[in-house]
Every structure is written in C-alpha cells, then in structure tokens.
C-alpha cells in the first residue's frame, strides 16, 4: 500500500512530510513579508493541492 501511495503522489511519506513542512515555512514567511495581508490558509491549501502535480515526475523513480 505504501508503494502504491508513493507512486500516486510521487513522494514517499517522509519526503512528502518534509515538503509539506517546507511549504508551510515558505507560506509563513510570505505572509510575514506581506504584513499579514495574505491568507496563510488559502496559500497553503493552494500549494498542497499542487504538490501532486509537482512531484508526479518522481513517481516512476520511487516505484523502481
């Protein structure tokens, strides 16, 4: 099941977790730079929803 999931999302669970943490930090920094005028929740949701698309090219390598 884990391999199947990794193939679908393009990343292993631990790597996806690390990527999500980095995205969260990036969003927090962007909100800080924007003086708090940006909605962190919306930005993070957009980034996380796009993660599968960004990581899809790695799926073949992870499946091997």
Q: Tell me whether residue 4 is exposed, middle or buried, using C-beta atoms within 10 angstroms of its C-beta: 0 to 12, 13 to 18, 19 or more.
A: exposed
Q: What is the pLDDT of residue 35?
A: 93
How distant, in Å, are the alpha carbons of 1, 11, 25, 45 from that of 36? Answer: 41, 31, 14, 17
Domain that holds residue 55: 2-63
- Distance between CA atoms of 21 and 33, rounded to whole angstroms? 18
Q: Which of 54, 51, 58 is nearest to 20 (CA)?
A: 51
pTM: 0.68
Q: What pLDDT, on the 0 to 100 scale, is given for residue 6?
A: 40
Report whether pLDDT(5) > 50: no
Domain count, the chain: 1
Q: Is the pLDDT of residue 4 over 50?
A: no
DSSP 8-state secondary structure symbol assigned to residue 10: S
Q: For residue range 21-58, list pLDDT tens digits in order.
A: 999 999 999 999 999 899 999 999 999 889 888 888 87
């Amino acid at each position: 099941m884990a391999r199947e999931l990794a193939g679908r999302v393009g990343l292993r669970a631990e790597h996806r977790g690390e990527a999500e943490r980095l995205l969260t930090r990036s969003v927090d920094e962007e909100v800080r730079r924007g003086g708090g005028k940006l909605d962190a929740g919306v930005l993070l949701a957009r980034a996380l929803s796009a993660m599968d698309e960004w990581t899809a090219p790695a799926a073949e390598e992870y499946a091997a």
